[in-house]
Chain A
Amino acid sequence: MTATMSQVGGIVRRKEDPALIQGRGVYVDDIKLNGELTAAFVRSPFARARITSIDTSAALAIPGVRAVYTIEDVRSLGPLLAQIPIGKLRPLLADGVVNHVGEAVAMVVAENRYQAQDAAEAVLVEYDQLPASVGLKFSATDEVKIHDDLDSNILHTWVSHDWWPGVFELEDHRPAIAAAKERDDVVIVSQEMVNQRLIPVAIEPRAVLADWSHGYDRVTLYTSSQIPHAVAGAIAKTFGLPVNGVHVIAPEVGGGFGCKLNVYPDEVLVCFASHKLEAPVRWTETRREAGYSTIHGRGWIGTATITGTRDGEILGYELDALADMGAYSQNFTVAIPVLGLYVASGQYNIPLAWSVKCVATNTQTTDAYRGAGRPEAAYYLERAIDMFATEIGMHPGDVRKKNFFKKEDFPATVPIGLTMDSGDYVTNLDKLLESSDYAGLKAMQTQARSEGRYVGVGLSTYVEVCGFGPSILAEFGFGWDGYGLPSSFSGSGLVRINPDGSATVFIGTGPSGQGHETTWAQIVSDRLGIAMEMIRVAHGDTTDSPMGIGTFGSRSAAVDGAATYEAAEKVRSKASELVAHMLEASAEDVRFADGGAHIVGTPGHKVTWAEIAEVAYKPHKGPEGMEAGLEAHAVFSPGNATWPFGSHIAVVEVDVETGNVDILRYLAMDDCGNVINPMIVDGQLHGGIAQGIGQALFEEAVYDENGNLLSGSLVDYPLPTASDLPMFELDRTVTPTDVNPLGVKGIGEAGTIGSAQTLVNAVVDALSPLGVKHIDMPMRPKKVWQAIQDAQEA
């Protein structure tokens, strides 16, 4: 066997890949249990209606059908639990009314999928259609109030100076901004912009499989989830079990992007059915169904306003927006905009006045989609800054730099009272402007224009926030208390040296392609000198793993990675004592490398990890009085979030005859602090940027005025394909954080947060000679063409 020694910062091929490239990876739908049954759902055709009757008799008569459940069967379990229970919680099945197209009304369980589907079609549901409230501006008027038991469709309003009463006493910047607007020497730019609703589309549809073991008083739930422990908590709380009575296994997860960061009614319902029917019960969503059964993201409309001087000083940034919550609140729904508020003023030391109203509509629930609030915030801010730069005729880089927090300002406190850990924004942006030859790109644009071609150069910077801390945030909802697990968003890692000298690392994350098995093995290999091949990383199993928060918000490396680092340090400390005893030396002189340990200065004086392990597990061979065994668990609770940042440039060419946008180049200069595996970090950026480009150019969840989802399949929800995208030109600056011992910040969402507005800035730059000032996303050819026509007419 090869022995790959890894250091943090090194490139190693992924441990995950051999199974996945040979088709041997196991996803939920690949698991088969004896005697399993299959579920199918009866779904509402209406956006809002009263259910007058449900007749299940014809369905129950179909051979192989074992049960048809409605709310009458499951009402006693209560609604679906949510971590942030603001708004109307989702009933497990529609309770008297339906509030969005595709809402589950009944669940059929049968012996195979064909019987289940036939039976679902045979359930007769009668409805009295009610007026629906669709469209953010309309819903915000309360003309059609969706829920009888709520005062308004507006569920909550997040305001920058009053977002966490009692913790932050903040100045309201709005009066000062209003005063600035009265000055003679200011320029005001203001634009209403849509940050459209998106469907996450993990390529693996969600799948669940429950197996209730009556004799063991335990239910095992296989689910394609980013948050297995939270799901276990929710199932336990719903059924009145201790959490150790629920064993959740998230095996390979085929993409998440936030849509598997949720607790879903189907997860509860298959457990219920498995309990009732005394058989395993499975459900796998179809792609079309996913538009109804898995959360959507984004969905904002807002007006961004910048007030500033002609020499580029920004005197105020205002955003007044509506954010679409959908009909029911699930996991974080109403809290998503607050993640945008965290980065509302971006990298800028400027006055801020931000107000986002969370509006219920008769549509599918929205929640976290890659970036979750932060892409929206970055989009409005960075579009507005670009408009401001254009208006005053200043270099878009210079305007940004003039208003940046400077390196010496860190740790820097932002207008909403939080403190950013570290940053060097000017260096980062300058490096990109130089490496991209920005001036050369603009010269190329001028040349192209002289040839009648419309080339644009778009710039955006961004700041992200990840690895939420400190622990006190748990009292503000940053924990899994809603699922019966009082907790903060800490990280956990357990490092076990087995008696043969191999290591098993148990972590609390829920990866869906981020390469945690590789990255975490690197952290442990780096600390303990154990070969990568001798380290196995286990995750996604609530019985194996220590309590874990899951994978979302670019948190895993900065929080759980740090915990694993600390657990490895504990193992190293004890192992040093063992080696000192074995080699008759001082523990301070023990060094770990190359599959074992030696004494500093005498590399030949060494022992292997197998030899160390034997002494650990045979206490009579070890130091007197030392506890046998060799493993350690650590929980890392960060004292602050981390704040990555970066700068992106897109170069596009627009065909003004067709409106088609061609991406000529895409360059990014990101800073996520220290890097554990550059190959994996770059891969995260590639995918993140592609999703931002997808929002900018192609993707949109479209509802008609009656609340029908018009873009529920991949035919009418276009994702970027290989031929739509360029090679990405990535580089980085490295500004470590002191929030965690690894100095890492997080990279999962950075690409998405930085990219959508970069594309829009580029397209608007391309079309500026034609008078185009803004185009809402997605910038599909027809919309771009129309924007050109409108600008020409105006």
Chain B
Amino acid sequence: MKVSMTVNGRLVNGDVEPRTLLVHFIREELALTGTHIGCETSYCGACTVHVDGEATKSCTMLAVQAEGADIMTIEGMAKGDELHPVQEGFWERHGLQCGYCTPGMIMSGAALIAANPSPTEDEIRHGIEGNLCRCTGYHNIVKSIEYAAAKMRGETPPPADWEEVSA
């Protein structure tokens, strides 16, 4: 089946098997491998992308269902050399270890802040509970999103754990 959509600002066309998942279309047809697959049940969230601005698990959507949609993947988040504040937050606050859940986590974090620019710790924790991380215990992921939200509000991010220790 023919399908066309906008991905990271670029119009793309494809000819796919009807059962092709959006995540497979993104990874294999478009060679955007930053969107990952961690399960088949929409539990892990490694495949999270933005579909028309909404955080969406691309393993539970067919490519043909995204006909005409505006898709953003992790590869589209940075503007040239300038990282998206959520990406910057993950780097500054050690929000990742193996990095496998990270793209999905960043996409969820960005959508969360877009909907709620000043999330509390509890709101962040509930906002990302559809994304599983096995490495970090989420501690630094929450800190990373807090960092990004502050930056996006034009505020100074709260200090890192290690900055508090040295102060």
Contact = CB atoms under 8 A, between A and B. Distances in A.
B98 A513 contact: yes
B132 A203 contact: yes
A514 to B, nearest CB: 7
Contacts of A19: 99
A557 B162 CA distance: 21
Contacts of A690: 134, 136-138
Interface in B70-118: 73-75, 77-78, 83, 87, 90-92, 94, 96-103, 106
Contacts of B31: 32
Contacts of B97: 255, 513-515, 683, 687
Given A287-B39, A714-B44, A723 B137 contact: no
A679 interface: yes
Nearest to A683: B94
A723 B140 contact: no
Interface stretch (B60-68, B123-131, B151-159): B123-131
Contact of A203 (B94, B125, B134): B134
A288 B135 contact: no
Given A22-B74, A679-B162, A714 B34 contact: no
Contact of A722 (B37, B75, B128, B134): B128
Contacts of B73: 23
Contacts of B83: 21-22
Contacts of A386: none
A728 B132 contact: no
A257 interface: yes
Contacts of A114: 17, 19
A713 B142 CA distance: 26
Contacts of B87: 21-22
B46 interface: yes
A723 B33 CA distance: 28
Given A14-B91, A683-B94, A723 B38 contact: no
A205 interface: yes
Interface residues of A, number: 61
Interface in A14-44: 14, 16-27, 29-30, 32
B99 A252 contact: yes
B5 interface: no
A678 B137 contact: no
Interface in A256-313: 256-257, 286-288
A686 B91 CA distance: 17
Contact of B135 (A23, A25, A687, A713): A687
B139 interface: yes
Contacts of B43: 713-715
A727 B41 contact: no
Interface in A746-771: 751
B90 A203 contact: no
Residue in A13, A29, A686 with the greatest tally of chain B CB atoms within 10 Å: A686
Contacts of A597: none
B129 A203 contact: no
A169 to B, nearest CB: 43
A205 B38 CA distance: 6
Given A22-B34, A22-B74, A203 B98 contact: yes
A637 interface: no
B23 to A, nearest CB: 11
A352 interface: no
B50 interface: no
Contacts of A254: 36, 38, 98-101
Contact of A23 (B28, B32, B92, B121): B32
A700 interface: no
B134 A27 contact: no
A194 to B, nearest CB: 23
Given A513-B135, A715-B41, A25 B99 contact: yes
Interface string A593-611: 0000000000000000000
Interface string A99-129: 0000000000000001000000000000000
Contact of A24 (B34, B44, B106, B135): B34
B55 interface: no
A721 interface: yes
A364 interface: no
B98 A691 contact: no
Contacts of B36: 27, 203-204, 254
Nearest to A511: B98
A253 interface: yes
Contact of B75 (A16, A22, A688): A22
A720 B137 CA distance: 8
Contacts of B103: 21, 23
Contact of B125 (A24, A722, A751): A722
A367 interface: no
Interface string B43-59: 11010000000000000
Question: Interface residue tally of chain B, by bracket?
Answer: 35 or more
Contacts of A13: 91-92, 94
A725 B142 CA distance: 11
B141 interface: yes
Contacts of B19: 114
Given A22-B34, A22-B78, A686 B41 contact: no
A98 interface: no
Contacts of B44: 203, 287, 714
A680 interface: yes
Contacts of A203: 36, 38, 44, 46, 98, 100-101, 132-134
B162 A722 contact: no
Contacts of B28: 32
A63 B35 CA distance: 30
B41 A287 contact: yes
Contacts of B91: 13-14, 17-18, 21
Given A13-B92, A683-B140, A727-B142, A255 B135 contact: yes
B99 A686 contact: no
Contacts of A347: none
A209 interface: no
Contacts of A21: 74, 83, 87, 90-91, 96, 99, 102-103, 106
B129 A723 contact: yes
A715 to B, nearest CB: 5
A152 B46 CA distance: 44
Nearest to A684: B97
A723 B98 contact: no
Contacts of B165: 678
Interface string A683-721: 100111111000000000000000000000111000111
A687 B96 CA distance: 10
B46 to A, nearest CB: 6
B94 to A, nearest CB: 5
Nearest to A717: B43
Contacts of B94: 13-14, 679-680, 682-683
Contacts of A150: none
A203 B102 CA distance: 10
Contacts of A689: 137
Given A114-B19, A203-B44, A286-B40, A714 B132 contact: yes
Contacts of A714: 39, 41, 43-44, 132
A26 B33 contact: yes
Contacts of B122: 723
Interface of B: 17, 19, 27-28, 31-41, 43-44, 46, 73-75, 77-78, 83, 87, 90-92, 94, 96-103, 106, 121-122, 124-126, 128-142, 160-162, 165
11 contacts: A16-B99, A20-B102, A21-B102, A23-B34, A32-B31, A254-B99, A680-B94, A687-B135, A690-B137, A715-B41, A722-B125
What 9 pairs across the A-B complex have the smallest Cβ distances? A23-B34, A254-B100, A513-B98, A20-B99, A690-B137, A513-B97, A23-B74, A686-B137, A30-B33
Given A513-B98, A678-B165, 14 more contacts: A17-B90, A27-B33, A29-B33, A32-B28, A114-B17, A201-B134, A203-B46, A286-B40, A512-B98, A683-B135, A714-B39, A722-B125, A725-B125, A725-B137
